[in-house]
Amino acid sequence: MTQTTWAYLSNNFVYSAMGVFALSFLVHAFETAWAVKVPAGGTDLQKMDYTKAEKAARIGTSLMILAFLLLLLGVIARGLANGHVPWGNMYEFSITGALAFTGAYLIALRKHDLRWLGLFISLAALLTLGTAITLLYRDSAPLVPALKSTWLIIHVVAAIISGGVFLLSNVIAGAYLYLDSRERGAGRPAWATRLPALEVLDQLSYRLVAFVFPLWTFSVIAGAIWAESAWGRYWGWDPKETWAFITWVAYAAYLHARVTIGWKGRRAAWLCLFAGSTFLFNYVYVNVWGTGKHTYSGL
């Protein structure tokens, strides 16, 4: 197959993945709806029949796995079209980022029942891919000389996986804050009664960060080693580097606050959201409006 056919194939895989994410979103919406449906004869939550919601959750997850696999094929096909790893521009970062994000969710699902997040995860993946393919799309192109290095694979893989897990932890921290405010007010909404206790969310969000923080540290170090061989300095406060540093320091503060001072709950969740938003800002702002050495070939 020629490179152009691979590129078309990649686009088709990405479009199919979007379709399946949309289906998964719909099914998760039904799941949530059925979980809210109050049975005839009272609002006793103990007596509620959740079999329909459970079935929907299973279908939703299966669809999510299918969408993940389609997107994986899309990313691989993009790499084959390029003749190099598909991390040369923001379109490629976005589709790989969506892959890492849903991948982190699916892996976390093996240990924790997070299917209630499916509605949000599928929507986030859908929006990311939609933005990528409409606004950020660039034709498959060769790598510029500065990116031709083994460090591209090492540095970028570590950064993308870290990003996926950071964002997942952020989503859970966000859910924590929402449920916490509801519990202190009118109580949890009907659809959320089956969601895990606040403590579980709190702990899970922390565990994800603690797990991935060393990987983020590694990504920054790998980037520094690469920068030394490409630009002649391992650290130069380029905007991307500055924000990577800010993210690192913010998560370091978060971990200290939790482990050493014993922050929990609301305060910890806010700090987690702040740290995660610095990562997102780095991705969006520095790539689109920023100057500096991390901007290549348009976007």
> Smallest distance from the beta carbon of 281 to another protein, in angstroms?
10
Selected binder of another protein within 34, 87, 93, 243 (CB under 8 A):
243
Nearer to another protein, 193 or 229 (CB): 229
Nearer to another protein, 44 or 139 (CB): 139
Residues 193-212 that bind another protein (CB under 8 A): 210-211
Selected binder of another protein within 246, 266, 270, 280 (CB under 8 A):
246
> Smallest distance from the beta carbon of 244 to another protein, in angstroms?
10
Residues 253-272 that bind another protein (CB under 8 A): 253, 256-257, 260-261
The CA distance from 214 to 166, in Å, is 12
Helical axes 3-36 vs 51-82, angle rounded to 10°: 160
User: Using the rule CB under 8 A, is 217 a contact of another protein?
Assistant: yes
The CA distance from 114 to 269, in Å, is 18
Selected binder of another protein within 1, 39, 58, 142 (CB under 8 A):
142
Whole-Å CA distances, 79 to 14, 39, 54, 75, 157: 13, 51, 38, 6, 14
> Smallest distance from the beta carbon of 115 to another protein, in angstroms?
23
> Smallest distance from the beta carbon of 28 to another protein, in angstroms?
30
User: Using the rule CB under 8 A, is 230 a contact of another protein?
Assistant: yes
User: How many residues bind to another protein according to rule CB under 8 A?
Assistant: 48
User: Using the rule CB under 8 A, is 26 a contact of another protein?
Assistant: no
Nearer to another protein, 191 or 218 (CB): 218
User: Using the rule CB under 8 A, is 218 a contact of another protein?
Assistant: yes
| Residues of this chain that bind another protein (CB under 8 A) | 139, 141-142, 144-146, 148-149, 210-211, 213-214, 217-218, 221, 224-226, 228-239, 242-243, 245-246, 249-250, 252-253, 256-257, 260-261, 278, 286, 290-292, 297
